[in-house]
Chains A and B, each alone.
Chain A
Amino acid sequence: MSITEQKKIEEIANADYKYGFVTDIDAITLPKGLSEDIIIKISEIKNEPKFLLEWRLKAFRHWQTMVEPDWANIHYQKIDYQDISYYSAPKEKPKLNSLDEVDPKLRETFEKLGISIDEQKRLSNVAVDAVFDSVSVATSFKETLSDLGIIFCSFSDAVKNHPDLIKKYLGTVVPYTDNFFATLNSAVFSDGSFVYIPKGVRCPMELSTYFRINAANTGQFERTLIIADEGAYVSYLEGCTAPRRDENQLHAAVVELITLDNAEIKYSTVQNWYPGDKDGKGGIFNFVTKRGVARGINSKISWTQVETGSAITWKYPSCILQGDNSVGEFHSVALTNNYQQADTGTKMIHLGKNTSSTIISKGISAGKSNNSYRGLVKVTKKADNARNFSQCDSLLIGDKCGAHTFPYLDINNSSAQVEHEATTSKIGEDQIFYLNQRGISTDDAIGLIVNGYCKEVFKKLPMEFAVEAQKLLGISLEGSVG
Chain B
Amino acid sequence: MDKYKNIKESFLNNFKDFENSLNGESKSDFHKIRKQAFNNFYELDFPDRKNEEWRYTNISPLLQQSFSIPNNNIKLDATDLPNHILKGIDAYVMIFVNGKFSAEHSHLENIQKGIKIRCLADCIKNNDKDLLQHFGKYADCKNNIFTSLSTAFTTDGAFITVDDNCVIEKPIYLLFLTKAGNVNIQTQPRNLIVAGKNSQLKVIEHFSSTDNSTYFTNTITEIVAQENAVIDHVKLQEESINAFHIARMEVDQERSSNFTSHLISTGGKLSRNDLTSKFNGEGGEAMLNGLFLIEKDQLFDVHSFIDHAKPNCNSHEHYKGILDDDSHGVFNGKIMVRKDAQKTNAFQENNNILLSTNSLINTKPQLEIFADDVKCSHGATIGQLDNDAKFYLKSRGIGEEASKEILLHAFASDVVNHIKIDAVKNYAEEIITERINERKKES
Q: Which residues of A contact B (CB under 8 A)?
A: 71, 381, 394, 396-426
Is B380 on the interface with A (CB-CB < 8 A)? yes
Contact among A399, A400, A407 with B373 in the assembled complex (CB-CB below 8 Å): A399
Q: Which residues of B contact A397 (CB under 8 A)?
A: 372
**Cα distance A411–B361 in the bound complex, in angstroms:** 5
**Cα distance A58–B379 in the bound complex, in angstroms:** 43
Interface class of chain B by DSSP: strand
B28 → chain A, closest Cβ, in Å? 43
User: 8 A–B contact pairs at CB < 8 A?
Assistant: A399-B342, A404-B369, A408-B364, A411-B361, A411-B362, A415-B357, A421-B377, A423-B376
Q: Are A71 and B52 in contact (CB under 8 A)?
A: yes
Q: Which residues of A contact B380 (CB under 8 A)?
A: 407, 409, 418-421
Binding stretch for chain A, among B115-123, B284-292, B381-389: B381-389
Q: Are A413 and B354 in contact (CB under 8 A)?
A: yes
A176 → chain B, closest Cβ, in Å? 23
Given contact pairs A399-B373, A425-B375, A426-B374, A415 touches B381 in the complex (Cβ within 8 A): no
Give A412's nearest chain B residue, CB to CB.
B360
Is B370 on the interface with A (CB-CB < 8 A)? yes
Q: Which of A381, A418, A419, A424 has the most CB of B within 10 A?
A: A424
Q: Are A407 and B366 in contact (CB under 8 A)?
A: yes
**Cα distance A350–B336 in the bound complex, in angstroms:** 30
Q: Are B370 and A402 in contact (CB under 8 A)?
A: yes
**Cα distance A396–B342 in the bound complex, in angstroms:** 12
Q: Which residues of A contact B355 (CB under 8 A)?
A: 414
Q: Which residues of B contact A416 (CB under 8 A)?
A: 354, 382-383
**5 A-B pairs with least C-beta separation:** A414-B354, A396-B372, A418-B382, A424-B376, A420-B380
Query: Besides the contacts A399-B372, A414-B357, A422-B365, what 19 more A-B pairs have beta carbons closer than 8 Å?
Result: A402-B369, A402-B370, A404-B366, A404-B368, A405-B366, A409-B364, A410-B360, A410-B362, A413-B357, A414-B384, A416-B354, A416-B383, A418-B380, A420-B380, A421-B378, A421-B379, A422-B376, A422-B377, A424-B376
Give B353's nearest chain A residue, CB to CB.
A414
A51 → chain B, closest Cβ, in Å? 35
Q: Are B372 and A401 in contact (CB under 8 A)?
A: yes
Q: Are B52 and A423 in contact (CB under 8 A)?
A: no
Q: Are B356 and A414 in contact (CB under 8 A)?
A: yes
Give B359's nearest chain A residue, CB to CB.
A414
A249 → chain B, closest Cβ, in Å? 28
A14 → chain B, closest Cβ, in Å? 50
**Cα distance A407–B380 in the bound complex, in angstroms:** 10
Q: Which residues of A contact B374 (CB under 8 A)?
A: 396, 424-426
Q: Are A399 and B356 in contact (CB under 8 A)?
A: no
Q: Are B381 and A418 in contact (CB under 8 A)?
A: yes
A401 → chain B, closest Cβ, in Å? 7
A356 → chain B, closest Cβ, in Å? 14
Given contact pairs A411-B360, A412-B360, A414-B357, A420 touches B379 in the complex (Cβ within 8 A): yes
Q: Which of B339, B355, B367 has the most CB of A within 10 A?
A: B367
A285 → chain B, closest Cβ, in Å? 23
A37 → chain B, closest Cβ, in Å? 35
Give B336's nearest chain A residue, CB to CB.
A404
Is B358 on the interface with A (CB-CB < 8 A)? yes
B439 → chain A, closest Cβ, in Å? 14
Q: Are A406 and B373 in contact (CB under 8 A)?
A: no
Contact among A71, A409, A412 with B363 in the assembled complex (CB-CB below 8 Å): A409
Q: Are B369 and A394 in contact (CB under 8 A)?
A: yes
Q: Are B382 and A396 in contact (CB under 8 A)?
A: no
Q: Are B384 and A415 in contact (CB under 8 A)?
A: yes
Q: Which residues of A contact B361 (CB under 8 A)?
A: 409-412
**Cα distance A419–B383 in the bound complex, in angstroms:** 9
**Cα distance A405–B366 in the bound complex, in angstroms:** 5
Contact among B342, B360, B367, B382 with A405 in the assembled complex (CB-CB below 8 Å): B367
Q: Which residues of B contact A420 (CB under 8 A)?
A: 365, 378-381
A214 → chain B, closest Cβ, in Å? 44
Is B371 on the interface with A (CB-CB < 8 A)? yes
Q: Are A422 and B52 in contact (CB under 8 A)?
A: no
Q: Which residues of A contact B369 (CB under 8 A)?
A: 394, 396, 402-404, 424
Q: Which residues of B contact A418 (CB under 8 A)?
A: 380-383
Interface class of chain A by DSSP: strand
**Cα distance A403–B381 in the bound complex, in angstroms:** 22
**Cα distance A174–B359 in the bound complex, in angstroms:** 30
**Cα distance A408–B365 in the bound complex, in angstroms:** 7
130-182 of chain B: CB within 8 A of chain A: none
Q: Are B381 and A399 in contact (CB under 8 A)?
A: no
**Cα distance A426–B363 in the bound complex, in angstroms:** 26
72-108 of chain B: CB within 8 A of chain A: none
**Cα distance A400–B377 in the bound complex, in angstroms:** 20
329-359 of chain B: CB within 8 A of chain A: 339-340, 342, 352, 354-359
Q: Which of A398, A410, A411, A418 has the most CB of B within 10 A?
A: A411
**Cα distance A415–B383 in the bound complex, in angstroms:** 7
B380 → chain A, closest Cβ, in Å? 4
Give A73's nearest chain B residue, CB to CB.
B368
**Cα distance A233–B340 in the bound complex, in angstroms:** 50
Given contact pairs A409-B382, A414-B356, A421-B379, A399 touches B371 in the complex (Cβ within 8 A): yes
A185 → chain B, closest Cβ, in Å? 25
B139 → chain A, closest Cβ, in Å? 25
Q: Are B377 and A381 in contact (CB under 8 A)?
A: no
Q: Which residues of B contact A426 (CB under 8 A)?
A: 372-374
A477 → chain B, closest Cβ, in Å? 14
275-308 of chain B: CB within 8 A of chain A: none
Given contact pairs A398-B372, A401-B372, A403-B369, A419 touches B381 in the complex (Cβ within 8 A): yes
Q: Are A424 and B367 in contact (CB under 8 A)?
A: yes
B115 → chain A, closest Cβ, in Å? 40
A362 → chain B, closest Cβ, in Å? 15
Given contact pairs A417-B383, A420-B381, A421-B379, A408 touches B362 in the complex (Cβ within 8 A): yes
Give A403's nearest chain B residue, CB to CB.
B369
Instruction: Please encode chain B, from 229 to 247, with 1 for each CB lying within 8 Å of some chain A CB and 0 for all others.
Output: 0000000000000000000
Q: Are B372 and A407 in contact (CB under 8 A)?
A: no
Contact among B352, B360, B368 with A402 in the assembled complex (CB-CB below 8 Å): B368
B273 → chain A, closest Cβ, in Å? 19
A379 → chain B, closest Cβ, in Å? 8
**Cα distance A58–B382 in the bound complex, in angstroms:** 41
Given contact pairs A399-B339, A416-B383, A422 touches B367 in the complex (Cβ within 8 A): yes
A417 → chain B, closest Cβ, in Å? 5
**Cα distance A419–B360 in the bound complex, in angstroms:** 16
**Cα distance A248–B380 in the bound complex, in angstroms:** 41
Give B328's nearest chain A residue, CB to CB.
A412
**Cα distance A406–B334 in the bound complex, in angstroms:** 9
Q: Are A409 and B367 in contact (CB under 8 A)?
A: no
Q: Which residues of A contact B378 (CB under 8 A)?
A: 405, 420-422
**Cα distance A69–B178 in the bound complex, in angstroms:** 44
Q: Which residues of A contact B384 (CB under 8 A)?
A: 414-415, 417
Contact among B352, B368, B377, B381 with A423 in the assembled complex (CB-CB below 8 Å): B377
**Cα distance A386–B146 in the bound complex, in angstroms:** 38
Q: Which residues of B contact A394 (CB under 8 A)?
A: 367, 369
Q: Are B377 and A411 in contact (CB under 8 A)?
A: no
A75 → chain B, closest Cβ, in Å? 14
Q: Are A424 and B366 in contact (CB under 8 A)?
A: no
Give B374's nearest chain A residue, CB to CB.
A424
Q: Which residues of A contact B358 (CB under 8 A)?
A: 381, 412
**Cα distance A44–B413 in the bound complex, in angstroms:** 69
**Cα distance A409–B364 in the bound complex, in angstroms:** 6
**Cα distance A403–B339 in the bound complex, in angstroms:** 11
Q: Which residues of A contact B379 (CB under 8 A)?
A: 419-422
Q: Which residues of A contact B373 (CB under 8 A)?
A: 399, 426
Q: Which residues of B contact A415 (CB under 8 A)?
A: 357, 384
Give B323's nearest chain A residue, CB to CB.
A414
Given contact pairs A414-B359, A417-B383, A424 touches B375 in the complex (Cβ within 8 A): yes
Q: Which residues of A contact B383 (CB under 8 A)?
A: 416-418
Give B342's nearest chain A residue, CB to CB.
A399
Q: Which residues of B contact A417 (CB under 8 A)?
A: 381-384
**Cα distance A98–B57 in the bound complex, in angstroms:** 65
